[in-house]
Amino acid sequence: MSTLDPGLRDEIIGAIPNLRAFAISLSGSVDKADDLVQETLLRAFANISSFNPGTNLSAWLFTILRNLFRSEYRKRRREVPDPDGAFAATLTTSPDQNSHLDFEDFRAALERLPPDQREALVLVGASGFSYEEAAEICKCAVGTIKSRVNRARNRLGELLALDASEDLAPEKPVGAPLSAHERF
């Protein structure tokens, strides 16, 4: 194990918050996500010589993390996230009541996306990668990423439109259980 170029070390540290956010979206659990990030860092250090300086370090780290997750995913199915979703546990800021409801709906909908679509949407829509970078991370064609992102958006749109129309429907009794069937 050799000492690392300080600039590279800082860059790796700088990527950790994003790696965690991505890992949480993949694994559905904060604990699992942090284990994934730790394993990613160990892997990155062990293989740092295979990193080509001047290329995208962040994409390289994301690729390692995704591969680790995938290889584990093949062994055992995705662990069932806690019912309130992993992101709930990470919430440090509390949105006001109304938007909090929206937020819950959104989180539940995101959990229901197929993993391929969710990861593509997160990489492009939240991590800020280009379609090309996301395709490289996911080892697939750019067109595949685009269609996954589109399908993810459309599916989320359907799920949330459903929620919205339920909220607006006047004939619903006020005390009716709120779309409990939508959860899983």
Partner 1 sequence: MSGKDKMTTEDENEGRGAGGDAMAATPPRTPSSVLDGDIQAKIGQHLRAMYDDVVRQGVPNRFLDLLSQLDQPAGAGGKKPGGGAGT
The contact set with partner 1 (CB under 8 A) reads 1-4, 9, 12-13, 16-18, 20-21, 24-25, 34, 37-38, 41-42, 45-46, 52, 55-56, 59, 87, 90-93, 102-103, 106-107, 110, 121-122, 125-127, 130-133, 135-136, 141-143, 146, 149-150, 153-154, 156-157, 160-161, 164
Question: What span, in angstroms and rounded, lies between the C-alpha atoms of 20 and 32?
Answer: 10
CB contact at 8 A, 47 and 93 = no
Residue number, 168 or 174, with CB nearest to partner 1: 168
Question: What span, in angstroms and rounded, lies between the C-alpha atoms of 127 and 136?
Answer: 14
Q: How far is the CB of 68 from partner 1 (least distance, A)?
A: 13
Query: What DSSP designation does 162 have?
Result: H
Q: How far is the CB of 109 from partner 1 (least distance, A)?
A: 9
Q: What is the CA radius of gyration of the chain?
A: 19
Q: How far is the CB of 55 from partner 1 (least distance, A)?
A: 6
Q: How far is the CB of 115 from partner 1 (least distance, A)?
A: 16
3-state SS assignment for residue 40: helix
Tokens of 175: 């005390």
